[in-house]
Amino acid sequence: MALLAVTCSTVALGGQGPGESFPLVEAVECRPRGGLPNALAKLATGGEVRVAYIGGSITAANGWRPMTTRWLAQTYPDAKVVEINAAIGGTGSDLGVFRFRRDVLEHKPALVFIEFAVNDGGFAPDLILRTMEGMVRQARSQDSTIDICFVYTLTDGMVPTLAAGKFPRSASAMEKVADYYGIPSIHMGMEVVRLHKEGKLVLRAAPRTAEEKAALGDKIVFSADGVHPHAETGHKLYLEAIVRSFQKMRGVGTAGARPPLPPLTQGNYENARLVPVSRATMSAGWRRLDPQKDALAGRFSKYLPDLHVAAQAGESLSLRFRGTYVGFMDLLGPDCGQVVVSIDDGPPVMVARFDAYSTYHRIGSFAAGRDLPAGVHTVKVTLDGTPLDKAAILSRLNNRMDDPKRFEGLSWYVSQVMLIGDLE
């Protein structure tokens, strides 16, 4: 049987066209647009104000997110600011739009920050338009008074584009959605770029010796890896951008409900949702992991509450659905392997659930089928028994197998079905 192979950890089977061009938007720190009038009014009035944050590892970190929450609480002392942390490291808007209802909207926030520009960096603009608009339309359909703010971060690889006065492609695509819906946006990294151009900031440094530290002088060290800011420097600069931008947005916009708008992008992911994988048909070898008894299930219970595992080659799950998209929210890790995915009469596709980062377990996802013809489809996922050279895979990022026993097995841990449509 000939198999197509997909090896990345958060993947979509079907063309994303990562090389397609898109007009880049002028780089500015803040575009207030319609502002945040409802959230700011609630903060000024007092009472409970729920603020949600969804994004990747930069938002998940102990950095700009909790700093912003503390700043809001200090700035508006009559309000009880409640933080909703819905960030998951290493994930983009392609998963975020499916979990947005459950992880954000169910908590009834007044304000939502959405941060995916870095992790969406390799996505096609068309996909970004559909996922970002999907989240906006989900929020507006539930409660049109919810205020949303797009926030953008950076990597050192994005700095040349920003220094030339343009947003990178991912943020430029997001700006199109923000323009259409009047959503304010903040690029938290513009001051980082300015300081770097002036020679006052180093984007990436990990000095170990006294000599290396002395060589940096009084320069600000933004991060150790060019992506994840240090809390005391990079995240502090991100917070300062939030503060300046909120000052610009005071008095902007009119509080109240917003009228519904027709979609900007046909096929946007407004109807994306998660369904527990327990609703699929499973072969006999599957086990549901009890988060009260299993350490792995307990660790991931917030986002993967219905975690199942199969460990033997040939074990499978299948489901029938009426819709256009199906995928899975799962784990990658040391004891994971690969699965074979088939939809209807299409060719089988091999999807790796072990990669060069898999020295630990982390949340991932993959699309088994997207942009499917409207109608009823059947998807089947089968554990593959082909041995993996895990040491070679890890070596791509200079990682090593510390304990070979941890890397035994070819398991698949899965919790949620990502669906646009309905199960049959």
Cβ-based neighbour number of residue 386 at 10 Å: 11
Residue 206 is predicted with a pLDDT of: 82
H-helix or E-strand containing 267?
A: none
Task: Verify that 185 and 278 share a domain, yes or no.
Answer: no
Mark which of 213, 234, 249 sits at the end of a domain: 249
In sequence order, what DSSP letters do the residues of 310-375 get, joined into one string? E-STT-EEEEEEEEEEEEEEEEE-TTB-EEEEEETTSPPEEEES--TTTTS-EEEEEEEE-SPPSS
Task: Verify that 78 and 164 share a domain, yes or no.
Answer: yes
Task: Verify that 240 and 365 share a domain, yes or no.
Answer: no
Q: Is residue 110 situated within a structural domain?
A: yes
The CATH number assigned to the domain holding 233 equals 3.40.50.1110
Q: Is residue 2 situated within a structural domain?
A: no
Task: Verify that 64 and 204 share a domain, yes or no.
Answer: yes
Distance between CA atoms of 258 and 92, rounded to whole angstroms?
27
Domain count, the chain: 2
Residue 20 is predicted with a pLDDT of: 57
Low-confidence ranges of the chain (pLDDT < 70): 1-20
Task: Verify that 37 and 79 share a domain, yes or no.
Answer: yes
Distance between CA atoms of 353 and 360, rounded to whole angstroms?
12
Q: Is residue 266 situated within a structural domain?
A: no
| Cβ-based neighbours of 372, under 8 Å, separated by 6 or more | 323, 324, 325, 326, 343
Task: Verify that 283 and 172 share a domain, yes or no.
Answer: no
Residue whose entry in the numeric block shows the structure tokens 């609630």: 42
Residue 208 is predicted with a pLDDT of: 78
The residue segments making up the domain with residue 51 are 18-249
Tens digit of each residue's pLDDT (9 = 90 or more) over 230-263: 999 999 999 999 999 999 999 999 999 999 999 9
Q: Is residue 173 situated within a structural domain?
A: yes
Distance between CA atoms of 50 and 64, rounded to whole angstroms?
17
Task: Verify that 222 and 282 share a domain, yes or no.
Answer: no
pTM equals 0.93
The CATH number assigned to the domain holding 352 equals 2.60.120.260
Question: Which CA distances in Å does 360 have to 25, 311, 387, 403?
Answer: 38, 17, 19, 12
Nearest residue to 415 (alpha-carbon basis) of 309, 298, 291, 299: 309
Q: Is residue 255 situated within a structural domain?
A: no
Nearest residue to 386 (alpha-carbon basis) of 329, 339, 326: 339
Residue 374 is predicted with a pLDDT of: 94
Tell me the torsion sign for CA atoms 197, 199, 201, 207: positive
Residue 186 is predicted with a pLDDT of: 99
Q: Is residue 395 situated within a structural domain?
A: yes
Q: Is residue 260 situated within a structural domain?
A: no
Q: Is residue 3 situated within a structural domain?
A: no
